[in-house]
Amino acid sequence: MAFHYLLFIQFRKTETNLHYSNVKNSNRFELLGNEFNVITHFKSSNEISASDYPEIEESAIRGYSKIGFLIDIITICAENIISNKYDGFAFAVNENIVNEFYNQRINFQDFLKIIKGIKPLFSFGFGDEWPIVIEKGEKISYSEKKTQNIKYFFDCFANISKLDKNIMSLLNYWKMGYTLQKLWFWHESYLNYYKILEYFLKNYRNSFNNCISKNFLNFFQRRNIKKLNISKLLMDYSLDPTVVNEKLILDFIEIRNNEDIAHSKIKKQMMKKNSNSIIRAELFNFSYYDEIWEYLEDIRELSRYLIFKYLNFKNIELKTEGGSLEIELNLNS
C-alpha cells in the first residue's frame, strides 16, 4: 500500500507582471506577482510524521524533477530571481486528490483551495534570506514580446520528459551565473556562463584531438584547432556569423584565460600594454578586468541559447538588440 503526500511551498521572487502555471513531472507550480508557489507530490510505503521531514526534503525537494531543479528552469526561462526563504505545509491525501493534482484542466488556484481544506500534517520552512538577492521594491514589467518568449520556453521544458546530468549541471551553472550577476559579482558570474560555453566547445575539442598529443602541437596548430572548434559550434548551432562570430568567441576565451577572471594568481601580473586589466596587487594580488560588463550580457545570452538549442527548442534565433545579444522567437520558420 502506498501513502500519498503533497507539499505546498511558497517562495518569494522578483515581482513581475507574468502569470504562468504548469505541471512538470511531480510538480505543479505557479508564478504570480512576487510569489513562486509549488505543490509537489510524492508517495511512500510508510506513513510519515513531522520527524521525517529531513528525509522528505531530500527525496521530494532536491534532485532531478524536484523543486531545486524547477527553480533552475524558472531562472533560465524568465530571468527571475527566487529567494532562499520559503514556507510550506505537508498534507496526506488520497488517490482521488492525486488524480486531480495531475489534471491540468483544474487550474492552480482552484486546486490550492482543495488542499487548503485539508488539515496539514505539519508546517516547515527556511527563514534565512541571506544572501539577499531580491532588492526591496524591485519590479519587472515584461513586454508582451518578452512574456510570449518566456511562456514558450516554459512550454518547451514541459515537453521534455528527462534531461541528462550534464544539462542539469549546465542549468545550475546558468542559475548561479545569473544570481551572481544580480549580486554584482560580475567576474564570478562570467565564469559560470563561460563554463557552459566551454562544455560545448570541449565536445569538438575531444573529437579533433582524440588521436593527437598536445605535446606534438605547436602554438599555431593549437590555435587552428581552437578555431575549428568554434567554426563547428557556429555551424551546428545555426549561429548567424553577422551576430556571433569567431572573434567574439575568441574574445570570451581570451578574457577567461588571460585576464585572471574570478581567480587569484600566485605570481604578480604585469600591466600589459593596451590591457583593460587593473592590477590589484595590494588586494590579495588579483587583477580586475575593468570592462567585463561589456561581455557579460553577450556570454549570458549565448550560453542560454546554446542550452536551448541543445535541448532542441525550435523557432529560436540569436539576434542583436540594442547592441547586445538576445534570443528571439521566429514562429514563422
Mark whether 174 and 299 lie in a shared domain. yes
In terms of domains, do 53 and 145 share one? Answer: yes
Q: What is the pLDDT of residues 157-173, one digit of tens each?
A: 988 878 888 999 999 99
Contacts of 166 by beta carbon, 8 Å cutoff, 6+ apart:
199
> Does residue 9 share a domain with residue 149?
yes
Q: Is 323 left (phi over 0), alpha (psi -120 to 50) or beta?
A: left
Whether 200 and 77 share a structural domain = no
Q: Which residue has the higher pLDDT, 300 or 87?
A: 300
Q: In the chain, where does DSSP find H-type helix?
A: 53-56, 67-78, 95-101, 108-116, 144-158, 165-182, 186-209, 219-236, 246-258, 293-310
Secondary structure class of 51 (helix, strand, coil): helix
Can you read off the three cell numbers belonging to residue 140? 519587472
Residues 29 and 143 placed together within one structural domain of the fold: yes
Which amino acid does the sequence have at 327?
Answer: I
- Per-residue pLDDT band for 215 (boundaries 50, 70, 90) equals very low
* Same domain, residue pair 185 and 205: yes
CB 175 within 8 A of CB 71: yes
Q: Estimate the crossing angle of helix 186-209 against helix 219-236, to 10 degrees.
A: 100
Quick one: pLDDT band at residue 199, thresholds 50, 70, 90?
very high
Q: Check residues 33 and 69 and name the one with the higher pLDDT.
A: 33
pLDDT top residue among 221 and 7: 7
Partners of 13 in the β-ladder: 82
Give the three-class secondary structure for 331.
coil
The three cell numbers locating residue 193: 556562463
| Mean pLDDT score of the chain | 81
Note whether 225 and 213 are within 8 A (CB): no
Instruction: Tell me: do 171 and 153 sit in the same domain.
Output: no
Say if residues 327 and 302 touch (Cβ distance below 8 Å). no
What pLDDT is stored for residue 129 in this prediction? 66
- As a whole number of angstroms, the distance between CA 27 and CA 9 comes to 11
Please give the residue range of the domain that contains residue 104.
Answer: 3-158
Q: Tell whether 182 and 40 lie within a shared domain.
A: no
Neighbours of 240 (CB within 10 A): 12
Residues 79 and 151 in one domain: yes
Among 141, 158, 175, the domain-final residue is 158
Q: In terms of DSSP bridges, do strands 35-44 and 122-126 run parallel, antiparallel, or are they unpaired?
A: unpaired
Taking the whole predicted model, whether its pTM rises above 0.85 is answered as no
Q: Please tell me the total count of domains within the chain.
A: 2
Torsion of CA 247, 248, 252, 254, to 10 degrees: 20
Q: Which of 82, 70, 34 is nearest to 154 (CA)?
A: 70
- Identity of the residue numbered 301: E
Residue 208 or residue 120, greater confidence: 120
Residue 265: left (phi > 0), alpha (psi -120 to 50), or beta?
beta
Which has the higher per-residue pLDDT, 232 or 59? 232
Shared domain check, 194 and 80 = no
Same-domain check for residues 154 and 12:
yes
**Of 134, 158, 182, which residue constitutes the final position of a domain?**
158
Residue pLDDT, tens place only, 26-51: 889 999 999 999 999 888 888 887 77
Of 124, 158, 192, which closes a domain? 158
Structure confidence by residue, pLDDT tens digits, 90-103: 899 999 999 999 99
Task: Tell me which residue of 204, 257, 207 sits closest to 233, measured CA to CA.
Answer: 204
Region 179-206: what's the mean pLDDT? Answer: 86
Q: Are residues 147 and 200 in the same domain?
A: no
Across the range 206-222, mean pLDDT stands at 43
16 pLDDT exceeds 90? yes
Classify strands 139-140 and 15-16 as parallel, antiparallel or unpaired: parallel
